[in-house]
Amino acid sequence: MADTLTGPVPEVPDAIPEFPMPRAARCPLDPPPALRDLQERAPLTKVRLRDGSEPWLVTRYADQRALLGDPRVSADTDSPGYPSKAGPEGGEGKLSFIMMDDPEHARLRRMVTAPFAVKRVEALRPAVQRIVDDLIDGLLAGPAPVDLVEEFALPVPSLVICELLGVPYDDHAFFQDNTRTMVHRDATPEQRGRAAREVAGYLSALIGRRIADPREDLLSGIAARVTAGEIDHGQATEMALLLLIAGHETTANMIALGTLALLRHPDQLALLRESDDPGLVTSAVEELLRYLHITHLGRRRAVTEDIEIGGRLLRAGEGVIMVNEVANRDPEVFPDPDRLDLTRDARRHVAFGFGVHQCLGQPLARMELQVVYGTLYRRIPTLSLACSPDDVRFKHDAFIYGVHSLPVAW
């Protein structure tokens, strides 16, 4: 190897790297090699986005947590310097409190925290177990191979959110059809837009019905805030839509990508299937959240006041991107980070982000994944990939990383 390559590594890379970076073709479950490289030698560095802007990229775990917990960063896409996610999929819509700052963010978030409390979510477990069992019954009764994404991974969160919001059973088919179109790989932008408007219109009408006639569900809780004059009907609809969208593709991709990861690690899959330690499913969920990290475009923020960190000065008006997937592979926190080890203690991962915007739905997401990972491979022990591993298509360009489809048989 040439001397220039083995000599001392420069602290700052010579050219500003482009972001996002490509994953290695052979390792679609690992973060892009360039991100790991930066984490090692330039943990706080500028990158160039598609729109030509140059925000900071933060790759180490400790720096990411410090910045995400810092009130001097803003999640508002209108703040000067906010790093735009706009790419091939088009612009980013603003949806309720996920793109707001405190105190308004906190005011709105607190209106919907109640149903996500750990014990409230636990009470939903039997309903989720029934949803998962029914879907598996359906798979086993039909012909194989099937696309696990279409027939299982997407329906699970869609039906669970119906349960949570209080969508009447008779409307489940309408709801599922439209939410499926909203995220479907073959849908045109027009079809997706129309489906999103259908769902928004439906949720708005249902909130109206719950204002008139409240029940014990989440939409009634949101409706009560409208009645009390704390938010208007439009804000209420947006909030319901945020809960639906934030929990849909994320959970679905964790199910499909998690299954693929386990199929690629048969020893770990066998451990999960055969262990009678109930704690193993719990730790498997945390480890897969750590290992996979599907929100691969990073947490994005704008700096609102100068911040000194890691020997750098982040100036007000600059953007900053924290890619949690590479923090979850930080060797300072997770020894041997590239090994999928369902028995490790991965609880400190940042797959749900960190700071005041940390995922509101995480207790629900955890419970859903515990039910899925704890059930699917036991009920279908011979589950296997029904295509060549090279033919699995990954969603490199999507907001949420995953697989387009996952043909499986048993």
Partner 1 sequence: MTRPMSGPTVELESDKCVASGQCVVAAMQVFDQDDDGIAILLDERPAPALLDDVREAVAVCPAAAIRLVER
Contact 321, 57 (CB under 8 A): yes
* Longest Cα separation, the chain: 76
Contact 88, 336 (CB under 8 A): no
Contacting partner 1 (CB under 8 A), which of 50, 94, 110, 315? 110
The reply to whether 12 sits near partner 1 by the rule CB under 8 A is no
Q: Bridge partners of 73?
A: 303
Q: Which residue has the tokens 């369902």?
A: 342
> Residue 325: which of 100, 58, 87 has the closest Cα?
58
User: Per-residue x/- mask for ligand HEM, residues 221 to 250, rule CB under 6 A?
Assistant: ---------------------xx--xx--x
**Which residue number, 109 or 265, has a Cβ lying nearer to partner 1?**
109
Mark residue 198 as left, alpha or beta (left: phi above 0; alpha: psi -120 to 50; beta: remaining). alpha
Side-chain half-sphere exposure of 372, counting CA atoms within 13 A: 27
The reply to whether 81 sits near ligand HEM by the rule CB under 6 A is no
Which helix (H) or strand (E) is 134 found in, with range?
Answer: helix 125-141
Among the listed ranges 39-47, 268-276, 287-295, 351-359, the one in contact with partner 1 (CB under 8 A) is 351-359
Contacting ligand HEM (CB under 6 A), which of 21, 42, 62, 98? 98
The reply to whether 116 sits near partner 1 by the rule CB under 8 A is yes
By a kind-dependent CB cut-off of 5 to 8 A, residue 243 interacts, out of partner 1, ligand HEM, none, with ligand HEM
Q: Which residues contact 337 (CB under 8 A, 6 or more apart)?
A: 328, 329, 330, 331
**Which residue number, 243 or 385, has a Cβ lying nearer to ligand HEM?**
243
By CB under 8 A, the residues from 177 to 206 that bind partner 1 are none
Number of residues that this document lists for the chain: 410
Contact 54, 15 (CB under 8 A): no
Q: Between β-strands 319-322 and 307-309, what pairing exists: parallel, antiparallel or unpaired?
A: unpaired
Contacting partner 1 (CB under 8 A), which of 19, 175, 334, 354? 354
Output DSSP code: residue 406: -
The reply to whether 335 sits near partner 1 by the rule CB under 8 A is no
Contact 353, 324 (CB under 8 A): yes
The reply to whether 26 sits near partner 1 by the rule CB under 8 A is no
Q: For residue 309, what are its two tokens?
A: 């960190």
The reply to whether 67 sits near ligand HEM by the rule CB under 6 A is no
Least distance between ligand HEM and beta carbon 7 (Å) = 39
Among the listed ranges 1-9, 81-89, 262-270, 294-302, the one in contact with ligand HEM (CB under 6 A) is 294-302
What is the rounded distance in angstroms from the CA atom of residue 129 to the CA atom of residue 88?
37
What is the rounded distance in angstroms from the CA atom of residue 164 to the CA atom of residue 247?
11
By a kind-dependent CB cut-off of 5 to 8 A, residue 179 interacts, out of partner 1, ligand HEM, none, with none
User: To 10 degrees, the CA torsion angle through 308, 309, 312, 315?
Assistant: -50
**Which residue number, 339 or 348, has a Cβ lying nearer to partner 1?**
348
Q: Bridge partners of 303?
A: 73
Least distance between ligand HEM and beta carbon 23 (Å) = 18
Total binding residues toward ligand HEM, as defined by CB under 6 A: 24
**Which residue number, 161 or 203, has a Cβ lying nearer to ligand HEM?**
161
Contacting ligand HEM (CB under 6 A), which of 85, 225, 349, 357? 357
Residues of this chain that interact with partner 1 (CB under 8 A) are 68-69, 106, 109-110, 113-121, 347-348, 352-356, 358-360, 362-363, 366
Residues of this chain that interact with ligand HEM (CB under 6 A) are 75, 97-98, 109, 161, 242-243, 246-247, 250-251, 254, 294-295, 299, 351-353, 357, 359-361, 364-365
